[in-house]
Structure 1
Amino acid sequence: MNRNGMRPIHPGEILSEEFLKPLGITITALARSMTEPEAELIDVLGRQSGVGAGLAGKLSVQLNTTPEFWLNLQSTFDLRPAQIERG
């Protein structure tokens, strides 16, 4: 567990729970609107891959956020194991 007691949250979970579900957007529709392979977004949602700069930019345009929002989510998730290890 980390210092604040929260579990690490992957950007794919935020994408699903805070954007796709409330807005009623399917992963297929989002992928098409971003001209991204659906498989890439499925991998992010399934926590099999992360959000890089290119995808962050496209998500920000489609979901009215910023690229930094997505990159910060990813970097925070990536840093959690080191923070946990250090205690």
Structure 2
Amino acid sequence: MIEMKRQPTTPGEILNEEFLKPLNLTQRAFAEHIGVEVKTINRIVNGRQGLTPEIALRFAAALEVSVEFWLDLQKAQDLWRLKNSKIKLPKPLKAS
């Protein structure tokens, strides 16, 4: 398994840098376009909230990028955070 040393880019950073800025869209305008509250977009852009499948689907429809793209970004972020947390994992099971 390949270990990730650096934190993956967040979906919010991708949204902001690759879509909102180039399209000259504010968070408010994007939020209104996809039908969510602006605070939701702000939290995602600032890394304080992850993507739900519903939000990923809205992003995909509005930005013509697959829902899997957005969900994969979120999955990478979630797994990185878990692997770098203090979670205690069980030992592997062994056949007796």
TM-score by length of 1: 0.85
Which structure 1 residue ranges, 5 or more long, are not aligned?
none
Counterparts of 1:4-83 in structure 2, within 5 Å, are 5-83=5-83
CA RMSD of aligned residues (A): 2.0
Residue-by-residue CA offset, 1:15-51 (whole Å, 9 max, x unaligned): 1111111111111111111111111111101111000
Whose helix fraction is larger, Structure 1's or Structure 2's? 1
- Bigger radius of gyration among the two: 2
Residue-by-residue CA offset, 1:38-83 (whole Å, 9 max, x unaligned): 1111110111100010000100111111111111000001111344
C-alpha distance in 2, partners of 1:10/1:60? 16
Q: 1:51 corresponds to which letter in structure 2?
A: L
C-alpha distance in 1, partners of 2:6/2:68? 21
Instruction: Report which structure shows greater RCO (CA 8 Å, sep ≥6).
Output: 1
TM-score by length of 2: 0.78
Which structure 2 residue ranges, 5 or more long, are not aligned?
86-96
Provide the aligned length of Structure 1 versus Structure 2: 85
Secondary structure of 1:23's aligned partner: coil
